Amino acid sequence: MLPDHFTLTNGQNIPSIGLGTWQLDGDKGYNAIKHALQNGYKMLDCAFAYTNQELVGRAIKESGIAREDIFVVDKLANTWHSAAEENLKLTLESLGVEYLDLWLMHWPSPLNHHGNDPKTPKLADGSVDFEKDWDYVKTWKTMVELYRKYPEKLKSIGVANFGVKELEAIIEATGVVPVVNQVELHPSCNQQQLFKFCEDHDIQLVAYSPLGSIGSPLLQNKDLAGIAARNRVTIPQCLISWGVANGWPVIPRSSSFERIDQNLQIVDLSKDDLNEITIIGSQNRQRFVTAPWHSFADI
C-alpha cells in the first residue's frame, strides 16, 4: 500500500499528494483549487511569487474544509530575502491564514528588493540584479530566527531548489537542518545524489513539476504509455505513483477537475514497473525548470 503521508523530522505529517498552484489564476484557478480541496487534496503548494495568494486564500476559505485539515506550503520570494519578515506577514494576510504548515526559501537566490522588477530585477546590462551584501545563508539565518520568534505562525521551515553545496552551507552556518527540500523530481531528473544526501540528513525531498511541467515529453513517451496501459492508468498517474513509491510527496498541478481527480488516484506499481520507469527516465535525462538567477550543479 502506498502511504498517504510522510513524517517529517519534527513529527509533522506531510500528505503524499498536493496540488501545485503555479499559474492557477482567475476563476479557473480558483475553481480548480476549491474542487481539489473538496475532493480529497490535503496539501496546497503555494508561493508569493505566483501572485495568486488571495485567490488561493479565497478557495481555502470557501471550500468549507477546516484549516487544520489542509497542509499549506508557501515560499519566500527571491526579491524579499532581505525583507523576509514582511514577506511572511504579507503571505499570511493574502492567504487569510493564521499559520503556514511549511515555509520554504523558494530559491537560494536573493534578488534586489528595490530593483526594477518585483520578480526578476535586471541591471542596465541585462544581467540579473542580485541583492548586494546578501546571500542565502543570511536568508536561512533570518528564516530560523522567524521560526523561533513565531512558532504559532510557522510550523516548519525548509528550502527549495537547493543542491548539496547549498544545503551543506546553511547547515554548517546554523546547525538547523531544513525539514524539506522541494526540487524538480521525476524520472528524467531523478536527483539521485541529492536524494542520498537528504536521506543521510533526514531532509524530506518533495517533487515539484512531477509530470515534467508544461508540454512535458514524458506524457508522450511510448514506453511509459505501455506501463500505464498495462496498469490501466495514465502516464501522469504512473509518474505520481513512482514518486510516492520512491518515498517523496508529489505536487502535480492541473486546472481540470477531471485531471485533478485522476492525479489523486495512484497505484501500487510492481517493482519491475517502477524500475522500468526509472530506466526510461535515465535514458531521457532532462531538467524542465530553469531560471536566470540560478545554475544547477547537474543536468
Active site residues: 50
Cβ 45 to ligand NAP, closest distance in Å? 4
Smallest gap, in angstroms, from Cβ of residue 34 to ligand NAP? 15
Q: Write down the least CB distance from residue 54 to ligand NAP, Å.
A: 16
User: What CA–CA distance (Å, rounded) separates 196 from 202?
Assistant: 10
Q: Residue 74: name the closest of 65, 52, 64 by CA.
A: 52
DSSP code of 131? P
Beta-bridged to residue 182, according to DSSP, are 160, 206
Compute the distance between CA of residue 32 and CA of residue 38 in angstroms, rounded to an integer: 10
> Which residue, 163 or 210, is less far from ligand NAP as judged by CB?
210
Residue nearest to ligand NAP (CB): 20
Q: How far is CA 146 from CA 29, 68, 116, 169, 178, in A?
A: 31, 21, 27, 19, 14
For ligand NAP, the closer of residues 178 and 212 by Cβ is 212
- CB closer to ligand NAP out of 23 and 149: 23
For β-strands 43-45 and 19-20, DSSP reports them as parallel
Nearer to ligand NAP, 121 or 236 (CB): 236
Task: Count Cβ atoms within 10 A of the Cβ of residue 24 and give its class: 0-12 exposed, 13-18 middle, 19 or more buried.
Answer: buried
CB of 299 to ligand NAP, least distance (A): 15
Q: How far is the CB of 259 from ligand NAP (least distance, A)?
A: 4
Residue 259's CB is within 10 A of a number of other CB atoms, namely 15
In the complex, which residues of this chain contact ligand NAP (CB under 6 A)? 20-22, 45, 106, 160-161, 182, 208-214, 219, 234, 236, 251-256, 259, 262-263, 289
> Rounded to the nearest 10 degrees, what angle do helices 257-264 and 235-246 cross at?
40
Nearer to ligand NAP, 44 or 245 (CB): 44
Phi, psi torsion values for 74, nearest 5 degrees: -135, 170
